[in-house]
Chains A and B, each alone.
Chain A
Amino acid sequence: MWREHKHVFSISNVFKLKESKRAVNSIRSLVEEEDEEDDVEKVSWSGEPVGSISWSVKETESSIRSTGEVRDQSFPKIHTAPSLPKNSSGYSLSSLFKEHSEKLLTSLILYLLDCRWSVHDDVILLWQDYVSDWTPEETVKRMQQGKVYSLEKFRSLQDKLLLLDEAVNAHDGNVITAVLIYLKKSLSKEILFRELITREIALRHYIHYLKEIGEQKLLLMQYRDHLNVRDENKRRDFLKNCLSFPFSPDDATHVQDHYTLLERQIIIEANDKQVESSGQADIFKKYPRKASILNMPIITTLYYSCFYHYGESDGTFSSPANIRKTFRISDKQFLLTCLGARAKLKAWFDVDALFTTKNWLGYTKKRSPIGFHRIVDILQKNNAPVQVLQDYVNLVEDVEQKISLAQKYKCHDVIINTYRDLKDRQQLIVYRGKVERSSSEYRKIEEILSNSVRW
């Protein structure tokens, strides 16, 4: 950046001796008038910072201010930038400043940068030599003391992390935040998040910072990292950590559910594994578990629960009713999942119970939140016997649909009864031709057709 400025304003054109001396003097007088600690407070800056150093200064400054620390006056401020007209100079700047204090030097450089002026190479080198000696400890210390510092020299990931760890060790929220802001600017989000997983304190500060500046989207990136955690217990803990993030209300619910789900899966898995290996429960003997339930979606977990834990009391974590309630599963989804699981086990009685409702007179009636034609399809896919199928085909309201389903799944009784009820003699005769002569269906049709009272 510095070099870029240089070819815009070359030093010999802009920084001319006479005026430069005056400028230097004016700064010096400002600096030297006061004590080491207080002098800088009187200097104020104007204009946009252009160099990377002044940037880092500005950033820290604002972060400190936002958190209301007392040290918010710790940076040099100059009231008005004196205009420095052109003059010619053969002096080397570095020689000019060598004897001056560090504070003067840095003030001057920052001032020059601030005026969008180029700085002589020598000065830059001097400055670079100077700051590059600072270790992470020193830098953090300087930051805490409110002295001028530079984070730019921490270039490699390793250096940056050392700096971060040092900042965390210092327990100074402002310093941690300042370092995090620098890391956020200079690292890709993925890498930063990856590193933050293992640094919880830094992570908390970062989350807080993101919350302050309202960057919701970044939080999800953080959440995404749970995918990289293999061990289920660690993954659970990681998700638990995520719970306190200021997600949007929507996302917060999902993350909460995700955590609760994994927490339960871990309990269920441990329990069932033990039960299965001890050979106590018939269901596991008859249908050994094919895979672990860990990290499965909630609907799959519900299916599992309907398969292995049907009929458990509402109080247990693994009972279908409890899962349904906890995860607010819709009636349709619950019914479909439950139906799938019980039909797979050929537990037709359970299937029946799913649809049975009692009205206030005590009569039972079959009801379903989804059309009975869909129920029939699902049962058929699970190889339900015709006796079971036809009960549900009968419940299909649309007559045409009922007949076509009955034909598809060979529910002769339903077809014959429907035609009989429709008094469709013609269709009955047609259908008689389709069934075998020796079958009971054939006899049934004959019987109906020959019953003269009916027609």
Chain B
Amino acid sequence: MSAHLSYGRVNLNILREAARKELREFLDKCAGSKAIVWDEYLTGPFGLIAQYSLLKEHEVEKMFTLKGGRLPAADVKNIIFFVRPRLELMDIIAENVISEDKMHSPRDFHILFVPRRSMLCEQRLKEQGVLGSFINIDEYILDLIPYDGDLLSMESEGAFRECYLESDQTSLYHTAKGLMTLQALYGTIPQIFGKGECARHVANMMLRMKREFAGSQTQILPVFDSLLLLDRNIDLLTPLATQLTYEGLIDEVYGITNGYAKLPPEKFAAQKKQGEVGKDLPTEPKKMQLNSAEELYAEIRDKNFNAIGAALSKKAKIISAAFEERHNAKTVGEIKQFVSQLPHMQAARSSLANHTSIAELIKDITSEKNSLYSFSFHVQLTTLHSSFIYLFYLYLTRQVTSEAFFDNLTVEQEFMTGVDTDKVNTYIEDCIAQKDPLIKILRLVCMQSVCNNGLKQKILDYYKREILQTYGYEHMLTLNNLEKTGLLKPQTSTRNNYPTIRKTLKLWMEDANEQNPNDISYVYSGYAPLSIRLTQVLARPGWRSIEEVLKMLPGPHFEERQQLPAGLHKKRQQGENRTTLVFFLGGVTYAEVAALRFLSQMEDGGTEYIIATTKLINGTSWIKSLMDRPEAP
């Protein structure tokens, strides 16, 4: 299940194994049969570390979700709570434990706090009178979770809000800790670069921690040549733009959580039982794991969506050709060989079918013209409703969504190229009048503000009033949060430095090639993410060439060196690439990840990138994390 983690430049499976080892050790501490009671939030991140099979090997027989009241019956010796250190969860645990005691056979209780234990929580358990019931209280430090062969995530949703809105830097501490763990496994990283306040903090903490552990130097040849720490707030623009890579769009449209996407089930049902669709359409969304373990997905996920059709049809041809091979298999040996390949081919075929379905779903939403295929799909649907009007309705609504997507994209691109960013935008106005989702409005208004280095007071006031009148005055708090983080702001100086930044860093490329890209700008069909441009320039020719632009972006930029123990200096082979770990503090988008992968694969790039972040984000999830009361009561 984890082989894909070891294919990359850096074997991230080592990190996963270390995490698994620790988990096993804890489980073995609680001898005998066990049941785990899960804080539901943790199951996602844990899924990236271990499957149920690992737990089973260590005598975990049952798993429950943490809920109030009495624990379900289970004939086990140990009950282990896997929880985040939150007070409200402690109350639930106490309730569980108290109602348990009244029952017959005594079971042993344990708590595993993820990622840190907390005095406050233990105090709460004590107040509730149950602290003594626990045999083991432990912590499971889950800082950096291997997400894919070249991607690490802390899966910490609130990191941006905490750091930039609430000035709570706990997540930076966890970041530094995670990086120390990484260095313990992969050797000291000799060079640290960074840009931004938080980056500075993390680097300082790392250097201090290193001094404190000076005695226990790791004798490991360094795997990483350098570390680049980037604050999210040096590039507020990129996450606001709609991602246009395949993976990015899946995330924009359906959302990817802990490596899984939940997709509408209709299309997947249709391909299973052709002919008798409609009898029982599944209503549960289809949950799909998306990572490089799936060969096809690894191949296509970073492509621009406009290149997906061609890639899929090419793949389809290869697969059907492979199946046709059976006619050529004459000898027993040949047949045997064919059969031995069959499972692989079948997996490839079902993977292809799945991605064709997903691509179609997305295409319905994003592209202007509707394909004949999706039309026929709806004809099938209409047999369900036996009403032609319904068909027409579906057809219309779909057209509306695709038009809206297109219009939205046009406005984004206007802003990014600096067109009319200093005026009230009529499209935004219209969207407000139509009561489009608030997050969509906020994404656009913030983008306009960022691309104009702040909005004129009059324009800002106008947008604010329209938003508050249409969506409710309580959103004043959200607008305030956006202002605090700098996403939305009044223009303070007359000078707008965004055009300078755009030109110097070549953030807009007119002739972005979506099919055969030659520049990272393909990930947003023209816009090259600022964060990735900084990374690119750092590798070559170096930041000295863009000092002026760096000064325009918030926070300091710096370089630190860490002494390596003698004899551990890496001697690079001729032509061997450097390995850089890029850490995005406050989140990174899939499109940015795609852009870095593109740079890694460039023939004359000279640098390969491993990416780490506090959380994979998109504009919607990001803005949502900054809202007060995102869901109205």
Contacts and interface: CB of A to CB of B under 8 A. Distances in A.
Nearest to B632: A295
A333 B433 contact: yes
Contacts of B465: 328, 330
Interface residues of A, number: 26
Given A227-B633, A332-B433, A299 B470 contact: yes
Contact of B477 (A224, A296, A329, A330): A224
B199 to A, nearest CB: 25
Interface string A240-276: 0000000000110011011001000000000000000
Contacts of B468: 254, 257, 297-298
A327 B629 contact: no
B542 interface: no
Interface string A408-440: 000000000000000000000000000000000
Contacts of A374: 430
Contacts of A227: 474, 629, 633
Interface string B473-488: 1101100100010000
Contacts, number: 58
Given A220-B480, A336-B433, A330 B473 contact: no
Contacts of B472: 295-298
Nearest to A337: B433
Interface in B599-633: 628-629, 633
Interface string B526-538: 0000000000000
A257 B473 contact: yes
Interface in B34-91: none
Contact of B469 (A223, A250, A255, A298): A298
Contact of A297 (B429, B461, B471, B628): B471
B469 A327 contact: yes
B564 to A, nearest CB: 33
A223 B429 contact: no
B628 A330 contact: no
B476 A251 contact: yes
Contacts of A257: 468, 473
A261 B433 contact: no
Nearest to B429: A332
A413 B629 CA distance: 51
B473 A333 contact: no
Interface string A318-352: 00000000011110110010000000000000000
Contacts of B101: none
B105 to A, nearest CB: 37
B469 A220 contact: no
B466 interface: yes
A7 interface: no
A217 interface: yes
Contacts of B471: 297
Interface string A196-239: 00000000000000000000010010011011000000000000
Contacts of A295: 472
Contacts of B474: 224, 226-227, 258
A298 B465 CA distance: 11
Interface residues of B, number: 22
**For the complex, would chain A's binding face be called helix, strand, loop or mixed by DSSP majority?**
helix
A333 B469 contact: yes
A372 to B, nearest CB: 14
Contact of B473 (A217, A258, A328, A332): A258
A297 B469 contact: yes
Given A224-B477, A261-B473, A217 B433 contact: no
B429 A255 contact: no
Given A227-B474, A298-B469, A250 B461 contact: yes
A371 to B, nearest CB: 9
B629 A217 contact: no
A220 B473 contact: no
B426 to A, nearest CB: 9
Interface string A367-407: 00000001000000000000000000000000000000000
A296 B477 CA distance: 17
Contacts of B480: 217, 220, 251
Interface string B564-588: 0000000000000000000000000
Contact of A223 (B430, B477, B629): B477
Contact of B484 (A217, A224, A296, A297): A217
A387 B462 CA distance: 37
Contacts of B476: 220, 223, 251, 254-255, 258
Contacts of A261: 473
Instruction: Please indicate which of the listed interface residues A223, A261, A299 has the most CB atoms of chain B within 10 Å of its own CB.
Output: A299
Interface string B414-440: 000000000000000110010100000
B389 to A, nearest CB: 13
Nearest to B430: A374
A258 B430 CA distance: 24
A299 B477 contact: no
Given A217-B484, A332-B433, A297 B477 contact: no
A251 B479 CA distance: 11
A261 B480 CA distance: 21
Instruction: Please indicate which of the listed interface residues A227, A257, A297, A374 has the most CB atoms of chain B within 10 Å of its own CB.
Output: A297
Contacts of A255: 473, 476
A333 B466 contact: yes
A299 B471 CA distance: 8
Given A227-B633, A250-B461, A297 B466 contact: no
A162 B484 CA distance: 35
Given A217-B484, A224-B477, A330 B466 contact: yes
Nearest to A221: B477
A128 B433 CA distance: 64
Given A220-B480, A332-B433, A297 B470 contact: yes
Contacts of B629: 227
B429 A220 contact: no
Instruction: Please indicate which of the listed interface residues A226, A255, A295 has the most CB atoms of chain B within 10 Å of its own CB.
Output: A295
A184 to B, nearest CB: 15
A217 B633 CA distance: 24
Nearest to B633: A227
Contacts of A333: 433, 466, 469-470
Shortest Cβ-Cβ A-B pairs, 10 listed:
A258-B473, A297-B472, A299-B470, A298-B469, A336-B433, A254-B476, A299-B469, A224-B477, A254-B473, A220-B480
9 contacts: A217-B484, A223-B476, A251-B476, A254-B476, A258-B473, A258-B474, A298-B470, A333-B466, A333-B470
Given A257-B468, A298-B472, 6 more contacts: A220-B480, A227-B633, A250-B464, A251-B480, A330-B466, A332-B429
